Amino acid sequence: MNIRINGTLSGEVTPPPSKSQAHRMLICAALGNRPCTIACSTLNDDLIATTNCLNTLGAHITYDNGLFNIEPIKIKKNGTLDCGESGSTLRFLLPVAAILEADATFVGHGKLPQRPNGALCEALESHGITFERQNPEAELPLTCHGRLRGGKYTLPGNISSQYLTGLLFALPLAQEDSEIEITGLLTSASYIEMTLDAISMAGIKITRQANTFYIKGGQQYSLPQKTKIEGDWSSAAFWIVAGVIGEKSVTVCNMHRASLQGDRHIIEHLRKMGAFIEETERGIVANPSQLFGTEIDCTDTPDLVPILSVAASAALGTTVFTNVGRLRYKESDRLAAMKSMLTAFGIVSEIGTDTFAVHGNKSTALHPIESFGDHRIAMSAAILSTISQGTTEIKDSGCVAKSYPRFFEDFVSLGGFAQK
DSSP sequence for 112-176 = GGGS--HHHHHHHHTTT-EEEES-TTSS-SEEEES----EEEEEETTS-HHHHHHHHHHGGGSSS
pLDDT digits (tens, 9 = 90+) for 228-243: 999 999 999 999 999 9
Q: Is 10 in contact with 250 (CB distance < 8 Å)?
A: yes
Model pLDDT, residue 159: 81
Most distant CA pair in the chain, distance: 62
Please tell me the predicted confidence (pLDDT) of residue 411: 98
Residues 196 and 257 in one domain: no
Report angle CA 398, 251, 412 to the nearest 5 degrees.
35
247 and 385 assigned to the same domain = yes
CA–CA separation, 374 vs 32, rounded Å? 33
Final residue before a domain boundary, out of 185, 219, 253: 219
In a domain, 225, yes or no: no
32: containing domain:
19-219
Same domain, 343 and 287: yes
Least confident range from 24-38, 61-75, 83-97, 180-194: namely 180-194
* The pLDDT of residue 134: 87
**pTM recorded for the entire structure:** 0.95
Torsion (CA) 247, 253, 259, 260 in degrees, nearest 10: -60
27, 113, 232, 265, 274 from 21: Cα distances, Å? 10, 24, 9, 16, 30
Residue of 232, 303, 396, 410 marked catalytic: 303
- CATH assignment of the domain containing 29: 3.65.10.10
* pLDDT, tens only, 204-214: 999 999 999 99
Q: What is the pLDDT of residue 158?
A: 83
Residue 254 pLDDT more than 90?
Answer: yes
Told to judge if 64 belongs to the known catalytic residues of this protein, a careful annotator would answer no
- Say whether both 349 and 252 belong to one domain: yes
Q: Is the pLDDT of residue 291 over 90?
A: yes
Amino acid 137: pLDDT: 83
In a domain, residue 33? The reply is yes
Examine the pLDDT at 187 and tell me if it is beyond 90. no
| Pairing status of strand 130-133 against strand 142-145 | antiparallel
DSSP, res 15 = P
Domain count within the chain? 2
- Give the DSSP letter of residue 270: H
* Distance separating alpha carbons of residues 329 and 85, to the nearest angstrom: 12
177 and 99 within one domain: yes
Q: Is position 191 within any domain?
A: yes
CB 382 within 8 A of CB 392: yes
pLDDT-based confidence at 29, cuts 50/70/90? very high
Tell me, yes or no, whether 102 and 177 share the same domain.
yes
Residue 110 is predicted with a pLDDT of 93
Name the H helices within 273-347.
305-313, 334-344
Query: Is residue 226 situated within a structural domain?
Result: no
- Whether the CB-CB separation of 415 and 10 falls below 8 Å is answered with yes
Q: What is the pLDDT of residue 244?
A: 98
Domain stop point among 219, 244, 272: 219
Closest to 413 in 3D by CA, of 287, 234, 158, 239: 239
214 and 356 in a single domain? The answer is no
Are residues 25 and 11 part of one domain? no
Same-domain status, 111 and 172: yes
Neighbours of 327 (CB within 10 A): 24
User: In 17-115, which ranges are continuous DSSP H helix?
Assistant: 19-30, 45-57, 87-99
Nearest CA among 293, 292, 303 for reference residue 266: 303
> Does 146 score more than 90 pLDDT?
yes
Give the burial string for 165-193 (b: 16+ CB within 10 Å, else e).
bbbbbbbbbbeeebebebeeebbbbbbbe
CB-CB neighbours of 137 under 10 Å:
7
The reply to whether 112 falls in a domain is: yes
Q: Is residue 379 part of a domain?
A: yes
Stretch 42-57: mean pLDDT, rounded? 98
Same domain, 204 and 240: no
Residues 270 and 301 in one domain: yes
Residues 61 and 144 in one domain: yes
* Residue 224 domain-assigned (yes or no): no
Select from 197, 219, 241 the last residue of a domain: 219
